[in-house]
Each structure stands twice: as C-alpha cells, then as structure tokens.
Structure 1
Amino acid sequence: MSTKKNKVKFNICNVHYALITVDDDGEVTFGTPVAMPGAVSLSLEPNGEPSNFYADGYAYYTISNNMGYEGDLELAMVPESFRTDVLKESLDDNSVLVESANVETANFALLFEFDGDVKKIRHVLYNCSAARPNIESTTNEEEIEVQTETLAITAAPLANGYVKARTGDSTTDTVYTGWYTAVYLPEVTPDTSGTQQSGQQGTDDETGGQTL
C-alpha cells in the first residue's frame, strides 16, 4: 500500500532547542529539547556553494562546500529559558535578567516543523548558534501593532559533517512521535550487501542527554 505524500507545506510551529555539550574527546551530547512558543517565521539560506576545479579545459572535479545555513528565526518573544540557556543572560537575586560581555553563548540543536496537507514535516538542525536580538519597539497609534523579536541563526555542520535531518514520507511512527523527546541521531548500519543508512533516537547518557 502506497504512502500518502504531502503536496504543499505551510506554517511553522513546534520550535524547540536542545543544548549541545562537547567533551574533551569531541563527543557531542544533546540535552532534552525545550519548547520555544510563539514562532512567527523562519528563513534560512544555504551557506556555501559547490565550486569547480578546472583541468583539461572543463570542470574536472566539483568540490563540495556545504557550510550549513544562515538566516532568521522570528518569534513573538524570545523565551526567558533561551536567554539564560543559550544567550547566557543570568538571573540575579531579584530575578532580573543581566547580560554580560564576559560570557560566551551556547550552541544548540534547533527543532521545528512545517504543516503539510497530509502530515507535518519535522526538522532538526544539529549545530546552531544565535546572535542577540535587537532591542526595538514603537509607540502605540490607533491600532496596537505587536512587536516581534528576531534571532539571527547560523547552522554549521558538526565535526562528523551532519548538518540537518527531516522526516520523510515513510518515517517510522516511533521516530516521528519521539521527535521532540530527544534529538534524532542517524547511524550507519553495516550490511553484507553494502552500507545502509538508518537512524534512531539518540542513546541516553547518564545525564539524560543524547550522544552522537
């Protein structure tokens, strides 16, 4: 029996982030995804284009240059959890958010989905960083206009080359329903007839994160 396929996609929702930890051996661990409500739009453009090496009068070899994606994530408001976990703003004894120039922001996986006419399409970008949003607003006039906040997102490849993953037409129910429980991690399964690409939800480590 054939699987129904999406013909169109629309709407962004279910945005989550999951913090990345890299140990001394270079092993990547993902934390539990945290919801970021209020997504308005997401626009990411590919970063890096293939280039050609010319010899014998023609394009002798094409060099892959996938450097990930760059763009903007627009939200109604950046959640306080993202500000403290990723942008590294700190809460003082009076629960006031304080921004310091002496701390580095954290990297994270970005998870989200687009609606489809048949089924939602779920994505994960594995290695993201975010710039601080602008501080801006305008005065009220005859009608109140909601002021959104925008994060400049850079999604770079992991050390193993992985940039992103997304659900397909035949993704298993286990992987699909668990997309926001743990960051999905692909794996290569040996096969006597060749190499097969498969995947699973990441294996829990002792801290509850996912390792790659």
Structure 2
Amino acid sequence: MKIDKTLIPLDLQYFANKVNFGLKNAHYALITVDEETGEETYGTPIKMPGSVELSLEPRGDMVEFYADDMLFYSAPNNQGYDGTLSIANIPDSFAVDVLGEEQDETDMVLTEKSNAKPGRFAFMFEFDGDVKATRHVLYNCSANRPTVSGSTKTDSVEPSPNELTFVASAREKDNAVKTKTLTTTPAGVYDAWYQSVYEKTPAA
C-alpha cells in the first residue's frame, strides 16, 4: 500500500530528507510596485536554465551585550543572505528586467548603461533530496552585475559559467526572507511552486 506522505504529521521525521544535493529549476519573478498605493506584486516566474552552483551566506552578526562580567544578552540579527549563483548564461530577459539593460528592438542588441535602474525580484530554486526535492523562494532580491569571463580553447572544451551575486533581504510587509517546502508539503502547493510566487492563502 502506498502511503500519502502529505497526510503524515510534521513531527514524524522518518520521511524528512536526510541529505540535499544538486541544484535545478532556478526561476526569477520581477517585483513591480504600484506608484499610487506602494503595493508590491510578483510577476510570473521565468526560468533561468543552466544553474551550476548556489551559495547563500547569512547576513547579520549576532547581537551580544555584556554586563556583570558575562554575556548578559544575545540575539540573532537576520539581515537576509549574500547570494552567489554560478550559471551557464544570464538570460536576456533577466538582463533587461532585473539588471536594467536596454534592448534595441531594431538591431536586437543589449546595452549596459551606467545609469541603469535595476529591478528587484523573487528568486526560486530547488535542491534535490534523498526523499523529495526541497523548493525554495527568496522574496526580495537585488542583483549586482555578473562577472564576464572566458578562456581560450585547449584540447578539451570546458564552458565558462557566469557568476551572479545578489542580496536577499526581508520584504517589508511581513519580514519574510525565505520559504521552503517540506517532504510533507501538500501536492497542491508543491506542484504549483513555479507557477507563481508562494503566498499563504488566507483562511476562509
């Protein structure tokens, strides 16, 4: 008999991933801001094929206060993450939407300008696991210009990936930095992860 893992309570850790490996399904969703209300909305996620490696380094040092010759108080200071994504190629749509490059519709070229106005975005991706892939979303990201590199061909051809650095911080409306799925996440939420940026559906 096949067990429906979505019906198993969260405290049963038997079905949790023991290890994570791999990286795939990178997507970005552009954030737009209503000029009148200031409300932020997410566009439809766009796939970024060719992900090679991703690292997320926590931002924010531990707050420590000393008194009475001892550590009197300490608390974490969550300032999001410094992210580095190694990717085969930066999609043209990402260069326009997020990095602010301009595409000439006649000559079909992309131009990087010093006065470009970058856009913010949500970043989505997944790590595979021994039970089920874990899907993530970082809600509020700003990207720096990617590195540009290349090398001469030798007796073996090895592609040179691009390196994209970005900062993922909390969004203003609810301080959410990142959300991820569990092995027990319902299929309706899990399967629709890349259709739109995940938002908790208000209770009826």
**What TM-score do the two structures reach when normalised by structure 2?**
0.86
Opposite residue 174 of structure 1, the aligned amino acid is G
Does 2:56 correspond to 1:35?
no
Aligned to 1:10: 21
Report the RMSD for the aligned CA atoms in angstroms. Answer: 1.9
CA deviation after TM superposition for structure 1 residue 57, in Å: 4.0
Which residue of 170, 176, 199 corresponds with 2:184?
170
CA deviation after TM superposition for structure 1 residue 187, in Å: 6.4
Aligned length: 190
- 8 Å CA contact 1:19–1:107 kept in 2: the answer is yes
Match of 2:15, SS? coil
Aligned to 1:115: 128
Which residue of 61, 74, 81 corresponds with 2:73?
61
Compare the two structures and name the one with the higher strand fraction: 1
Aligned to 2:59: 47
Does 2:172 correspond to 1:161?
no
Opposite residue 190 of structure 2, the aligned amino acid is Y
Which runs of 5 or more residues in structure 1 are unaligned?
A: 191-212
- Decide whether aligned partners of structure 1 residues 65 and 187 sit closer, same or farther in structure 2, where only a CA change above 3 A counts: farther
**What TM-score do the two structures reach when normalised by structure 1?**
0.83
CA deviation after TM superposition for structure 1 residue 103, in Å: 1.8
Opposite residue 57 of structure 2, the aligned amino acid is E
1:1-212 equivalences under 5 Å are 4-23=15-34, 24-92=36-104, 93-159=106-172, 160-186=174-200
Which runs of 5 or more residues in structure 2 are unaligned?
A: 1-7
- 8 Å CA contact 2:140–2:171 kept in 1: the answer is yes
Moved over 4 A (4+): 187-190
CA deviation after TM superposition for structure 1 residue 62, in Å: 2.6
Deviations 1:69-90 (A, max 9, x none): 0031010111111111111111
- 8 Å CA contact 2:138–2:177 kept in 1: the answer is yes
Opposite residue 138 of structure 1, the aligned amino acid is S
CA deviation after TM superposition for structure 1 residue 129, in Å: 1.0
In structure 1, what is the Cα distance between the partners aligned to 2:183 and 2:131? 10
In structure 1, what is the Cα distance between the partners aligned to 2:201 and 2:75? 25
Counting aligned pairs with the same residue, the percent is: 46
Opposite residue 6 of structure 1, the aligned amino acid is N
CA deviation after TM superposition for structure 1 residue 170, in Å: 1.5
Deviations 1:67-118 (A, max 9, x none): 0000310101111111111111111121111111122111100000011111
- 8 Å CA contact 1:53–1:63 kept in 2: the answer is no
In structure 2, what is the Cα distance between the partners aligned to 1:57 and 1:170? 46
- 8 Å CA contact 2:32–2:41 kept in 1: the answer is yes
In structure 2, what is the Cα distance between the partners aligned to 1:49 and 1:167? 27
Aligned to 1:209: none
- 8 Å CA contact 2:131–2:183 kept in 1: the answer is no
Greater shift after overlay, 105-114 or 47-56? 47-56
